[in-house]
Amino acid sequence: MRTKIVAGNWKMNNDLAQTETLITELKRQNNPSDVEVMIAPSFTNLWQAFNSLKDDSIEVIAQNMHFADSGAYTGEVSGEMLKSLGIKTVILGHSERRAYFNETDELLAKKVDAALKNDIRVIFCFGEELKDRKSEKHEDVVGNQIKNALFHLEAEAFKNIVLAYEPVWAIGTGETASPEQAQDMHSFIRKTLADKYGKDLAESVSILYGGSCKPSNAKEIFSKPDVDGGLIGGAALKAEDFFAIANSF
C-alpha cells in the first residue's frame, strides 16, 4: 500500500509571527491517521516550525536546498544544514524554481543526489506548460523531466523519492487538471517508472498531484487510483482548507 501524502508548500509566505499563528491553527485540526501531512515554511522559520511541531504528527519539510554540503554559495542552504535541524524531506524541482531560478534537469539531478546522500527524502516536482499540453507533448515533457533528473538512481533510492506532478498551467491559476487528466498523467508516470525499474517499484512510489487543489476538488482528484495525495500551495495557507484537503481521501 502506497503512502498517502498531503504536503503544504508555503512558498515565500508567512513571517515568524504568522508561521506561529498558522501552526497553532494547524494543531487544532483533525489530523487523519493514515495520511502523512507536511508543511514547508521558509528557511528562516524552519527551526521555529520544527520545534513547535516536534510532538505533532505534522512533518516540517524544506522548500529547496543546494547540491553542495558547504562552501562559497552565498545565500544558499545545504542538505547538511537541513539535516542538522532534523529536516527529513525536501521539495526539489518546483516549477517556480525551474522558471525563476533557472533550475535545469541536470542541476536537479545533483540536488537529488545531495539530498539522498544526507538521508533526506525528496518530493520531486515536474509538469508541463500549457503550450506542451496544447501541442500534445505533455507526456514527452514529463517523461524527460523524470528521466533526466532521476533515472541515474539505483532502484533502492526510490524508497526516498516521492513524485509530484504539477502542470504549470494549474499552479496558482485557479485552473485545476481534471481528475481524468491527473489520472492519465499519473498512470503514464507509473508506466515510465515500470519500464525502467519494474512494476513492483512503480507501484510502490507515491505520486502527488499539485495545481490549484482545494477542498472542493481534492476528493475527486484523490479518488483516482494513481493519485496518492497532493502538493498544496495557496490552500495550505489556511488551516481549515489544508485539513479539509488532507481529509479528502
Site of interaction with ligand PEP (CB under 6 A): 9, 166, 171-172, 210-213, 231-235
> What is the identity of the amino acid at 134?
K
Q: Tell me if residue 94 is catalytic.
A: yes
Q: How far is the CB of 136 from ligand PEP (least distance, A)?
A: 23
| Residue from 94, 96, 128, 138 carrying the catalytic annotation | 94
Beta bridge partners of 163: 124, 207
Q: How far is the CB of 195 from ligand PEP (least distance, A)?
A: 27
Rounded Cα–Cα distance for residues 64 and 42 (Å): 9
Q: How far is the CB of 40 from ligand PEP (least distance, A)?
A: 9
The closest residue (CB) to ligand PEP is: 233
Phi, psi torsion values for 78, nearest 5 degrees: -100, 165
Q: CA angle 92-96-101, nearest 5°? A: 85
CA–CA distance from 5 to each of 35, 65, 230, 249 (Å)?
5, 21, 6, 10
Q: How far is the CB of 231 from ligand PEP (least distance, A)?
A: 5
With respect to ligand PEP, which residue has the nearer C-beta, 193 or 232?
232
Q: What is the DSSP string of 162-230?
A: EEEE--GGGTTSS----HHHHHHHHHHHHHHHHHHH-HHHHHHS-EEEESS--HHHHHHHHTSTT--EE
With respect to ligand PEP, which residue has the nearer C-beta, 5 or 202?
5
With respect to ligand PEP, which residue has the nearer C-beta, 59 or 166?
166
With respect to ligand PEP, which residue has the nearer C-beta, 93 or 197?
93
Q: Tell me if residue 103 is catalytic.
A: no
Q: How far is the CB of 46 from ligand PEP (least distance, A)?
A: 18
Q: What's the grid cell of residue 109? A: 539531478
| CA torsion, ordered 89, 93, 94, 98, to nearest 10 deg | 150
| Residue from 59, 103, 128, 166 carrying the catalytic annotation | 166
With respect to ligand PEP, which residue has the nearer C-beta, 197 or 222?
222
Rounded Cα–Cα distance for residues 130 and 135 (Å): 9
Catalytic residue numbers read 94, 166
